[in-house]
Amino acid sequence: MKGALCALYSACAYIFFFATFLFAIAFVEGIGPKTLDSGAAGSGATALAIDLALLTIFALQHSVMARPGFKRVWTRIVPKEIERSTYVVFASAALALLIWKWQPLPQPVWTIADARWAALLRILSFGGWALVLISTFLISHLHLFGVLQGFARLARREPEPMKFVTPLFYRWVRHPLYVGFILAFWAAPAMSLGHLLFAAATTGYILLGIWLEERDMAAQFGTTYLHYRERVGMLLPKIRLRPVPTPHEIRR
């Protein structure tokens, strides 16, 4: 019974994440019922304060709950099998709150008048979202969002730890998923002040998140990850004649 409940919880958490993710795409791209620039514009100072608070909540949730020290304490409260799914629930809730309560700052920063350049930027932005999703599948999408862990007890096996792999994009940049987010946020044919705030704040958080994540990865995988970090660019590829070797090749 406990295994079935864990599996059901993980499945529901994943559905919640995916629905929020799709809504976030519409939110940023300006095509949904609630977007970065929709709604009545109120006081600029009030809107700025609310938006910064929402961004702070989102960043703190991601940073604190992702740390190994927090997980060690957290798994004394929630079963290990659903720890990742619980993180996904909180992360999706923080994102949903941000979308729901976001206050528009519609003042224009730039607008691309040329239809061809505007279309190119729109393609780049949606390409960024595609890169985000593809990158998660390259490193085990279902593990990343807690589904495999949640179904482990039902399958009568222990949850497997995340493995260090460098498929496809990861052989050229260390964080293609974050590259996708940056493209999605900045490739805007029309950039408002609110969109600029969102893009700048999330990019700053991405850089902080990379520092925290790489510190944890180095602690977990040791010299394998340190060697990988030396050879592969963080967000842009390093120009090399040969791609970085796989972890198996490194160990050999």
Per the CB < 8 A criterion, the answer to whether 41 and 169 are in contact is no
171, 248 contact by CB (below 8 A): no
What residues does 241 pair with on adjacent strands?
Answer: none
Q: How high is the pLDDT of residue 67?
A: 86
Residue 245 has pLDDT above 80, yes or no: no
Greatest CA separation found in the chain? 61
Cα(211)–Cα(227) distance, rounded to whole angstroms?
16
- Amino acid occupying residue 81: E
Instruction: State the pLDDT at residue 68.
Output: 85
pLDDT, mean of residues 223-247 = 80
Q: What does the pLDDT look like over 99-126, one tens digit per residue?
A: 999 999 999 999 999 999 999 999 999 9
pLDDT at 187: 97
- Indicate whether 129 pLDDT > 80: yes
Report the candidate in 197, 192, 144, 173 with the shortest Cα–Cα distance to residue 10. 144
What's the pLDDT at 136?
Answer: 94
With contact defined as beta carbons under 8 Å apart, do 165 and 217 qualify? no
pLDDT digits 0-9 by tens, 161-205? 777 888 999 999 999 999 999 999 999 999 999 999 999 999 999
- What tens digit of pLDDT does each residue of 151-164 get? 887 777 776 677 78
pLDDT at 56 over 80: yes
* Cα atoms in the 13 Å half-sphere on the side-chain side of 180: 18
Q: pTM for the complete prediction?
A: 0.89
- Res 249 pLDDT > 50: no
- Cα dist from 147 to 14, 66, 67, 155, 156, whole Å: 7, 17, 20, 12, 15
